Protein backbone atom coordinates (compact mmCIF):
# COMPACT_ATOMS: atom_id res chain seq x y z
CA UNK A 1 0.00 0.00 0.00
CA UNK A 2 1.01 3.64 -0.49
CA UNK A 3 0.87 6.05 2.41
CA UNK A 4 1.41 9.81 2.38
CA UNK A 5 2.73 12.12 5.09
CA UNK A 6 0.05 14.69 5.95
CA UNK A 7 2.73 17.25 6.84
CA UNK A 8 5.12 17.25 3.87
CA UNK A 9 3.11 15.06 1.40
CA UNK A 10 5.94 12.58 1.00
CA UNK A 11 4.70 9.20 -0.27
CA UNK A 12 5.97 5.81 0.85
CA UNK A 13 5.35 2.22 -0.34
CA UNK A 14 4.98 -0.19 2.55
CA UNK A 15 3.75 -3.78 2.74
CA UNK A 16 0.24 -4.30 4.03
CA UNK A 17 1.50 -6.60 6.74
CA UNK A 18 3.64 -3.76 8.16
CA UNK A 19 0.53 -1.63 8.79
CA UNK A 20 -1.89 -4.42 9.62
CA UNK A 21 -5.68 -4.41 9.48
CA UNK A 22 -6.05 -2.39 12.67
CA UNK A 23 -3.46 0.28 11.63
CA UNK A 24 -0.52 1.69 13.58
CA UNK A 25 1.49 4.85 14.27
CA UNK A 26 4.20 5.71 11.76
CA UNK A 27 6.70 8.57 11.40
CA UNK A 28 7.95 10.39 8.32
CA UNK A 29 11.63 9.92 7.68
CA UNK A 30 11.88 13.34 6.02
CA UNK A 31 10.08 15.78 8.34
CA UNK A 32 9.88 13.52 11.43
CA UNK A 33 6.10 13.94 11.63
CA UNK A 34 4.13 11.10 13.25
CA UNK A 35 0.54 10.10 12.53
CA UNK A 36 -1.79 7.08 12.86
CA UNK A 37 -2.13 5.19 9.60
CA UNK A 38 -5.33 3.19 8.98
CA UNK A 39 -5.01 -0.37 7.76
CA UNK A 40 -5.93 -1.45 4.18
CA UNK A 41 -9.64 -2.11 3.38
CA UNK A 42 -10.30 -5.68 2.11
CA UNK A 43 -13.62 -6.43 0.32
CA UNK A 44 -14.07 -10.18 0.75
CA UNK A 45 -17.42 -10.74 -1.24
CA UNK A 46 -16.16 -8.81 -4.23
CA UNK A 47 -13.00 -10.84 -4.37
CA UNK A 48 -15.00 -14.08 -4.15
CA UNK A 49 -17.37 -13.01 -6.95
CA UNK A 50 -14.58 -12.09 -9.20
CA UNK A 51 -12.97 -15.45 -8.56
CA UNK A 52 -16.20 -17.41 -9.38
CA UNK A 53 -16.92 -15.65 -12.70
CA UNK A 54 -15.56 -17.54 -15.78
CA UNK A 55 -13.05 -15.77 -17.90
CA UNK A 56 -14.43 -14.20 -21.14
CA UNK A 57 -13.69 -15.93 -24.49
CA UNK A 58 -10.70 -14.71 -26.30
CA UNK A 59 -11.45 -12.25 -29.05
CA UNK A 60 -9.60 -11.55 -32.21
CA UNK A 61 -6.59 -9.51 -31.65
CA UNK A 62 -7.14 -5.97 -32.58
CA UNK A 63 -4.46 -3.64 -33.59
CA UNK A 64 -3.53 -1.58 -30.63
CA UNK A 65 -3.22 2.14 -31.22
CA UNK A 66 0.18 3.67 -30.97
CA UNK A 67 0.48 5.54 -27.68
CA UNK A 68 3.28 7.46 -26.07
CA UNK A 69 5.35 5.59 -23.48
CA UNK A 70 4.29 6.25 -19.87
CA UNK A 71 6.26 8.81 -17.95
CA UNK A 72 8.43 7.38 -15.25
CA UNK A 73 6.87 7.71 -11.86
CA UNK A 74 9.16 8.41 -8.98
CA UNK A 75 9.08 5.49 -6.63
CA UNK A 76 7.95 6.63 -3.23
CA UNK A 77 10.24 6.07 -0.31
CA UNK A 78 9.72 3.36 2.20
CA UNK A 79 8.32 4.51 5.46
CA UNK A 80 10.03 3.52 8.72
CA UNK A 81 7.61 2.04 11.14
CA UNK A 82 8.35 2.30 14.85
CA UNK A 83 6.85 0.27 17.63
CA UNK A 84 6.85 3.13 20.17
CA UNK A 85 5.39 6.60 20.23
CA UNK A 86 7.99 9.18 19.05
CA UNK A 87 8.42 12.59 20.71
CA UNK A 88 6.46 15.55 19.43
CA UNK A 89 7.98 17.23 16.35
CA UNK A 90 10.00 20.41 16.90
CA UNK A 91 8.43 23.61 15.50
CA UNK A 92 9.90 24.80 12.20
CA UNK A 93 12.35 27.72 12.45
CA UNK A 94 11.00 31.20 11.82
CA UNK A 95 11.78 32.83 8.44
CA UNK A 96 13.83 35.57 10.14
CA UNK A 97 16.21 33.19 11.91
CA UNK A 98 18.56 30.87 10.02
CA UNK A 99 17.92 27.17 10.06
CA UNK A 100 19.70 25.26 12.78
CA UNK A 101 20.98 21.82 11.86
CA UNK A 102 19.65 18.83 13.80
CA UNK A 103 23.10 17.78 14.90
CA UNK A 104 25.78 20.27 15.88
CA UNK A 105 29.30 18.91 15.36
CA UNK A 106 31.20 18.64 18.60
CA UNK A 107 34.82 19.84 18.48
CA UNK A 108 37.33 17.10 19.20
CA UNK A 109 38.75 16.99 22.69
CA UNK A 110 42.52 17.29 22.75
CA UNK A 111 44.41 14.75 24.79
CA UNK A 112 46.97 17.40 25.73
CA UNK A 113 44.52 19.39 27.89
CA UNK A 114 46.04 20.25 31.22
CA UNK A 115 49.65 19.57 30.18
CA UNK A 116 50.74 23.02 31.38
CA UNK A 117 49.44 22.55 34.93
CA UNK A 118 49.49 19.29 36.91
CA UNK A 119 46.13 17.90 37.85
CA UNK A 120 45.24 17.22 41.48
CA UNK A 121 43.79 13.89 40.38
CA UNK A 122 47.02 12.64 38.77
CA UNK A 123 48.60 9.63 40.41
CA UNK A 124 51.84 10.47 42.16
CA UNK A 125 54.80 8.11 41.77
CA UNK A 126 55.21 5.61 44.60
CA UNK A 127 58.86 6.56 45.16
CA UNK A 128 57.97 10.02 46.50
CA UNK A 129 57.95 9.61 50.32
CA UNK A 130 55.65 11.57 52.55
CA UNK A 131 57.39 13.89 54.99
CA UNK A 132 56.89 13.27 58.69
CA UNK A 133 57.36 16.53 60.69
CA UNK A 134 57.54 14.68 64.01
CA UNK A 135 60.38 12.48 62.77
CA UNK A 136 62.29 15.50 61.42
CA UNK A 137 61.97 17.35 64.74
CA UNK A 138 63.14 14.25 66.62
CA UNK A 139 66.25 13.99 64.46
CA UNK A 140 66.97 17.72 64.92
CA UNK A 141 66.64 17.46 68.72
CA UNK A 142 68.98 14.45 68.80
CA UNK A 143 71.65 16.23 66.72
CA UNK A 144 71.39 19.36 68.87
CA UNK A 145 71.79 17.36 72.08
CA UNK A 146 74.83 15.56 70.66
CA UNK A 147 76.50 18.86 69.65
CA UNK A 148 75.75 20.42 73.05
CA UNK A 149 77.28 17.47 74.90
CA UNK A 150 80.41 17.60 72.71
CA UNK A 151 80.77 21.36 73.30
CA UNK A 152 80.46 21.00 77.08
CA UNK A 153 83.07 18.24 77.13
CA UNK A 154 85.51 20.26 74.99
CA UNK A 155 85.15 23.40 77.14
CA UNK A 156 85.56 21.46 80.37
CA UNK A 157 88.66 19.68 79.09
CA UNK A 158 90.48 22.38 77.03
CA UNK A 159 88.70 25.54 78.21
CA UNK A 160 87.25 28.30 76.09
CA UNK A 161 89.23 29.32 72.99
CA UNK A 162 90.93 32.70 72.99
CA UNK A 163 88.65 34.16 70.31
CA UNK A 164 85.52 33.76 72.48
CA UNK A 165 84.61 37.27 73.75
CA UNK A 166 84.15 36.45 77.44
CA UNK A 167 85.83 37.79 80.55
CA UNK A 168 88.43 35.35 81.80
CA UNK A 169 90.32 35.59 85.07
CA UNK A 170 93.84 36.83 84.61
CA UNK A 171 95.30 34.59 87.29
CA UNK A 172 94.39 31.19 88.67
CA UNK A 173 93.06 30.75 92.20
CA UNK A 174 95.75 30.81 94.85
CA UNK A 175 96.71 27.60 96.63
CA UNK A 176 96.33 27.91 100.39
CA UNK A 177 99.51 25.86 101.03
CA UNK A 178 101.69 27.74 98.48
CA UNK A 179 102.71 31.31 99.37
CA UNK A 180 103.90 33.50 96.44
CA UNK A 181 105.88 36.59 97.51
CA UNK A 182 107.22 39.15 94.97
CA UNK A 183 107.57 42.45 96.91
CA UNK A 184 107.55 45.66 94.78
CA UNK A 185 110.89 46.77 96.22
CA UNK A 186 112.48 43.83 94.37
CA UNK A 187 111.15 44.94 90.98
CA UNK A 188 113.56 46.73 88.67
CA UNK A 189 112.64 48.81 85.63
CA UNK A 190 115.32 50.71 83.58
CA UNK A 191 116.44 51.59 80.07
CA UNK A 192 119.54 49.84 78.77
CA UNK A 193 122.31 51.72 76.92
CA UNK A 194 121.07 50.39 73.59
CA UNK A 195 117.65 51.98 74.22
CA UNK A 196 115.66 48.84 75.11
CA UNK A 197 113.45 48.66 78.18
CA UNK A 198 114.43 46.17 80.91
CA UNK A 199 112.29 44.73 83.70
CA UNK A 200 113.35 42.27 86.39
CA UNK A 201 111.65 40.79 89.48
CA UNK A 202 112.72 38.56 92.36
CA UNK A 203 110.58 36.59 94.79
CA UNK A 204 110.04 33.37 96.73
CA UNK A 205 107.60 30.45 96.78
CA UNK A 206 107.05 28.74 100.17
CA UNK A 207 105.09 25.60 101.04
CA UNK A 208 103.39 26.36 104.35
CA UNK A 209 101.36 23.14 104.32
CA UNK A 210 102.02 19.70 105.77
CA UNK A 211 102.19 17.81 102.45
CA UNK A 212 104.30 18.09 99.35
CA UNK A 213 102.76 20.41 96.77
CA UNK A 214 103.20 20.82 93.01
CA UNK A 215 104.27 24.33 91.92
CA UNK A 216 102.35 25.76 88.94
CA UNK A 217 103.81 28.27 86.48
CA UNK A 218 103.98 32.00 87.37
CA UNK A 219 102.38 34.72 85.19
CA UNK A 220 103.74 38.32 85.12
CA UNK A 221 101.45 40.96 83.54
CA UNK A 222 102.36 44.58 82.69
CA UNK A 223 99.59 47.20 82.30
CA UNK A 224 99.54 50.83 81.16
CA UNK A 225 98.17 53.83 82.97
CA UNK A 226 94.62 52.98 81.79
CA UNK A 227 94.93 49.45 83.22
CA UNK A 228 95.16 47.85 79.79
CA UNK A 229 97.31 44.76 79.35
CA UNK A 230 100.36 45.61 77.24
CA UNK A 231 102.71 42.71 78.01
CA UNK A 232 102.79 39.33 79.77
CA UNK A 233 105.06 36.36 80.08
CA UNK A 234 105.12 33.01 81.84
CA UNK A 235 107.86 32.09 84.35
CA UNK A 236 108.63 28.44 84.98
CA UNK A 237 109.57 27.69 88.61
CA UNK A 238 113.07 26.32 89.35
CA UNK A 239 111.48 23.11 90.60
CA UNK A 240 108.06 21.55 90.30
CA UNK A 241 107.47 20.28 93.85
CA UNK A 242 107.96 21.71 97.32
CA UNK A 243 108.20 19.74 100.53
CA UNK A 244 106.42 21.01 103.66
CA UNK A 245 108.16 24.19 104.93
CA UNK A 246 110.49 24.39 101.88
CA UNK A 247 111.13 27.70 100.05
CA UNK A 248 112.41 28.35 96.50
CA UNK A 249 113.77 31.66 95.11
CA UNK A 250 112.65 32.91 91.67
CA UNK A 251 114.59 35.53 89.65
CA UNK A 252 113.23 36.62 86.25
CA UNK A 253 114.04 39.47 83.83
CA UNK A 254 112.88 40.42 80.31
CA UNK A 255 113.80 43.09 77.74
CA UNK A 256 111.88 44.93 75.01
CA UNK A 257 109.20 45.84 77.52
CA UNK A 258 106.66 48.35 76.10
CA UNK A 259 107.36 51.93 77.22
CA UNK A 260 103.68 52.35 78.12
CA UNK A 261 103.92 49.74 80.91
CA UNK A 262 103.33 51.30 84.30
CA UNK A 263 101.84 48.64 86.61
CA UNK A 264 102.93 45.06 87.38
CA UNK A 265 100.78 42.07 88.45
CA UNK A 266 102.21 38.66 89.48
CA UNK A 267 100.22 35.51 90.15
CA UNK A 268 99.64 31.86 89.23
CA UNK A 269 99.08 31.05 85.56
CA UNK A 270 95.59 29.65 84.77
CA UNK A 271 95.57 26.06 83.60
Q: Tell me the pLDDT tens digit for each residue of 130-183.
A: 678 888 899 999 999 999 999 888 887 776 676 666 667 888 888 889 999 999
Confidence grade of residue 270 (pLDDT, cut at 50, 70, 90) = confident
Beta-carbon contacts of 254 under 8 Å, excluding residues fewer than 6 positions away, are 198, 199, 200, 233
Between CA 271 and CA 268 the distance in angstroms is 9
Q: Encode pLDDT of 2-13 as tens digits.
A: 888 988 989 888
Which pLDDT score is estimated for 17?
A: 81
Question: Based on the number of CB atoms within 10 Å of its own CB, is 209 exposed (0-12), middle (13-18) or buried (19 or more)?
Answer: middle
- pTM strictly above 0.75: no
Which pLDDT score is estimated for 163?
A: 65
* Domains of the chain, residue spans: 1-49+75-86, 178-268
CATH number of 178-268: 2.60.40
Beta-carbon contacts of 13 under 8 Å, excluding residues fewer than 6 positions away, are 1, 2, 75, 76, 77, 78
Q: Under a CB-based contact definition with an 8 Å cutoff, are residues 222 and 232 in contact?
A: yes
Which of helix, strand or coil describes residue 49? helix
What is the DSSP secondary structure assignment for residue 260, as one 8-state letter? T
Q: Under a CB-based contact definition with an 8 Å cutoff, are residues 181 and 204 in contact?
A: yes
Amino acid sequence: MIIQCPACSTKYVVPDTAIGVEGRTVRCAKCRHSWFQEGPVIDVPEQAASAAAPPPPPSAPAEEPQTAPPEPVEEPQTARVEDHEPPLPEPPPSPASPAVPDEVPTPPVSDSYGDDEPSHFDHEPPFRPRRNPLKLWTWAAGIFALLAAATIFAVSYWGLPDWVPVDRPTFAAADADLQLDFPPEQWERRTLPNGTEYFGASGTITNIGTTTRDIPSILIVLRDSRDRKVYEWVVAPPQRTLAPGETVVVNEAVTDVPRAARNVQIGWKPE
